[in-house]
């Protein structure tokens, strides 16, 4: 069994490597203000956070990760540009996977830089690839921004787009909404409206009972009425969305397919260009882009603050393990915590306990070029 002392020693080595790459080491309080930060993590982490409260500080939580508090710190006091590294415990309930640790150490690296998002994405990925190369991991990449751009460009109501964007990270709910908004869902939309109208008529004149206020019930009725009267998302757009969601190949092949799709769905063109620039930047740092796995649906079970590039490193022989390292871009999070100001940002974390479980990082290089040949694709 791997001791905590060994894990801490491995974390210290990783932290030192991130500092060598130009990061400033920072710390974050173990107790974080839940009322401010918890909604930023998304449904999965909200359900797994350890929450407590007291009369002086209000509702608090044991930190479930470092990125959100580091972003909050940077937006309040940080310089521009900046690179940060950190190491410490995070805490998450594991009711659905009791064999996994409820408390474990993360080591992370975060980049805040305006000039070149593609270069920053490539820097973080290549640094992680170099560090983890001795473990012969499988790399997975994706881009939430492509799907968000496709949704934003749909020829439908803002209300529908907002609902789809809100549920990107809940694939089953997302698919259910798409079906409801399609031609096939016309009867469902009309039935939902009919039921709501009938329920409202049956309740007329009776005392209001329930968690929803009268205003909330009225708003729900208005949204269903609008939806029933709105044309469905066209079969053409639905087919294009399905094509995007199904893409799972090497990065160059996915890029080629996305360029073809962009001819009929030009709203994704800026996101596709960003992907192309990122792959060029990765190639310049020695990453084997030609064999890099890319999936447009990848990352939809990750943190909800990711809104662009996402990545993970997995042990091919240990499918039971979560990713050894993972991360992504979270530009929108900096705007939320910056109270109007914002800065492009990307980062990731490594779990040192899993690194040791897989044999450790003996032989790790001091440059980024280990991306070629160092990963199992």
28-72 pLDDT, tens digit per residue, is: 999 888 876 677 766 666 677 788 878 787 888 888 889 989 999
Beta carbons of 92 and 45 less than 8 angstroms apart: yes
- Let me know whether 72 and 43 are in one domain: yes
351-364 average pLDDT score = 83
Specify whether 181 is located in the same domain as 81. no
Q: What is the pLDDT of residue 363?
A: 46
Non-local (6+) Cβ contacts of 159 within 8 A are 223, 226, 227
Based on the fold, state whether residues 39 and 108 are members of the same structural domain: yes
| Same domain (yes/no): 90, 201 | no
Residues 223 and 143 in one domain: no
Question: Do residues 232 and 183 make contact, with C-beta atoms less than 8 angstroms apart?
Answer: yes
Structure token digits, residue 353: 């306990």
Residue 77 has pLDDT above 60, yes or no: yes
Q: Of 201, 233, 265, at which residue does a domain stop?
A: 233
Whole-prediction pTM: 0.85
CATH number (domain holding residue 341): 3.30.930.10
Q: What is the mean pLDDT of residues 244-266?
A: 97
Domain boundary among 210, 233, 256: 233
Residue 180 and residue 257 share a domain: no
pLDDT surpasses 60 at 344: yes
Q: Using omega within 30 degrees of 0 as the cis cutoff, is the peptide bond preceding 249 cis?
A: no
Sign, Cα dihedral of 351, 353, 357, 363: positive
Find the domain containing 83 and state its range: 4-150+239-374
Sign of torsion over alpha carbons 377, 330, 168, 251: negative
pLDDT score recorded for residue 96: 65
At 346 the pLDDT is: 97
Judge if 226 and 280 occupy the same domain: no
**Beta strand 138-143 with 103-112: parallel, antiparallel or unpaired?**
unpaired
Last-in-domain residue among 233, 261, 279: 233
Average per-residue pLDDT for the chain: 85
Number of domains in the chain: 2
pLDDT at 226: 72
Instruction: Fill in the DSSP letter of residue 287.
Output: -
């Amino acid at each position: 069994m791997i001791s905590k002392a060994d894990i801490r020693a491995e974390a210290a080595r990783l932290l030192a490597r991130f500092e060598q790459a130009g990061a400033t080491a920072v710390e974050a309080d173990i107790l974080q203000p839940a009322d401010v930060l918890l909604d930023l993590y998304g449904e999965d982490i909200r359900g797994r956070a350890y929450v407590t409260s007291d009369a002086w500080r209000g509702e608090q939580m044991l930190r479930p990760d470092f990125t959100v508090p580091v972003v909050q710190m940077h937006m309040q006091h940080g310089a521009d540009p900046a690179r940060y590294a950190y190491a410490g415990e995070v805490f998450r309930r594991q009711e659905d996977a009791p064999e996994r640790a409820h408390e474990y150490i993360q080591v992370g690296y975060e980049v805040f830089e305006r000039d070149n998002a593609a270069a920053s994405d490539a820097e973080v990925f290549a640094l992680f690839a170099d560090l983890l190369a001795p473990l012969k991991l499988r790399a997975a990449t994706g881009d939430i921004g492509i799907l968000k751009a496709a949704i934003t460009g749909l020829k439908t109501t803002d209300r529908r787009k907002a609902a789809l964007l809100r549920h990107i990270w809940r694939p089953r709910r997302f698919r259910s909404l798409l079906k409801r908004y399609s031609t096939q869902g016309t009867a469902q939309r009309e039935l939902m409206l009919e039921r709501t109208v009938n329920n409202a008529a049956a309740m007329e004149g009776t005392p209001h009972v329930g968690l929803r206020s009268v205003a909330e019930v009225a708003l729900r009725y208005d949204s269903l009425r609008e939806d029933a009267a709105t044309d469905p998302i066209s079969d053409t757009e639905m087919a294009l969305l399905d094509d995007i969601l199904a893409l799972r190949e090497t990065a160059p092949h996915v890029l080629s397919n996305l360029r073809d799709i962009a001819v009929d769905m030009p709203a994704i063109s800026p996101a596709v260009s960003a992907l192309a620039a990122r792959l060029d930047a990765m190639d310049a740092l020695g990453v084997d882009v030609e064999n890099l796995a890319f999936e447009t649906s990848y990352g939809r079970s990750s943190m909800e603050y990711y809104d662009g590039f996402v990545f993970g490193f997995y042990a091919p022989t240990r499918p039971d393990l979560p990713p050894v390292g993972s991360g992504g871009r979270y530009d929108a999070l900096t705007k939320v915590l910056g109270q109007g100001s914002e800065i492009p940002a990307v980062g990731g974390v490594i779990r040192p306990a899993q690194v040791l479980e897989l044999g450790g990082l003996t032989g790790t290089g001091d440059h980024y070029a280990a991306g070629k040949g160092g990963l199992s694709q």
